[in-house]
A = this chain, B = another copy of it.
Amino acid sequence: MAEKRFSNLDLAKQVDAFPYEDTEPEAYQAMMAAANLYTLTWKDGTPLGYMLPTVVDELEQVPLAIRGPVAIDRAARTVHAFEAGATEAERTRAVAAVMGHWRERGTFEVLRRGWRGELWPVYGSGAEVLYSAERAGMGLLGATGYGVHMTAYVRDDEDGDGGMRIWVPRRAADKQTYPGMLDNAAAGGLMTGEEPFECLVREADEEADLPADLVRRRARAAGTVSYVYVARDGKRMAGGGGPPGQIYPESQWVYDLELPRDVRPRPKDGEVAGFELLGVAEVKEALARGEFKPNCALVTLDFFVRHGILTRENEPDYDEIVRRMHRRLPFPGPHQVAAA
Contacts and interface: CB of A to CB of B under 8 A. Distances in A.
Contacts of A338: 9, 316-317, 320
B320 A336 contact: yes
Interface string A217-236: 00011111010000000000
A253 B326 CA distance: 17
A61 interface: no
Contacts of A158: none
A288 to B, nearest CB: 16
A313 interface: yes
A319 interface: yes
Interface of A: 9, 21-24, 195-196, 220-224, 226, 251, 253, 255, 305-308, 311-313, 316-320, 322-323, 326, 328-329, 334-340
B23 A340 contact: yes
A164 B22 CA distance: 40
Given A23-B339, A196-B312, A251-B319, 4 more contacts: A220-B307, A224-B319, A320-B336, A323-B326
Contacts of A251: 319
A328 B326 CA distance: 11
A319 B249 CA distance: 14
Contacts of A337: 316-318
A308 B221 contact: yes
A253 B308 CA distance: 10
20 contacts: A9-B338, A22-B22, A23-B328, A196-B313, A221-B308, A221-B311, A222-B308, A223-B305, A223-B322, A224-B312, A224-B318, A224-B319, A224-B322, A317-B338, A319-B329, A320-B336, A320-B340, A322-B326, A323-B326, A323-B328
Contacts of A224: 312, 318-319, 322
B335 A318 contact: yes
Given A22-B21, A338-B9, A340-B23, A319 B308 contact: no
Question: Which of A308, A329, A336, A339 gathers most chain B CB within 10 Å?
Answer: A308
A338 B312 CA distance: 11
Which 8 A-B pairs have CB atoms at the shortest separation, nearest pair first? Answer: A221-B308, A316-B337, A319-B335, A220-B308, A223-B305, A316-B338, A326-B326, A317-B338
Nearest to A219: B308
Most chain B CB inside 10 Å of its own CB: which residue of A220, A312, A339 = A312
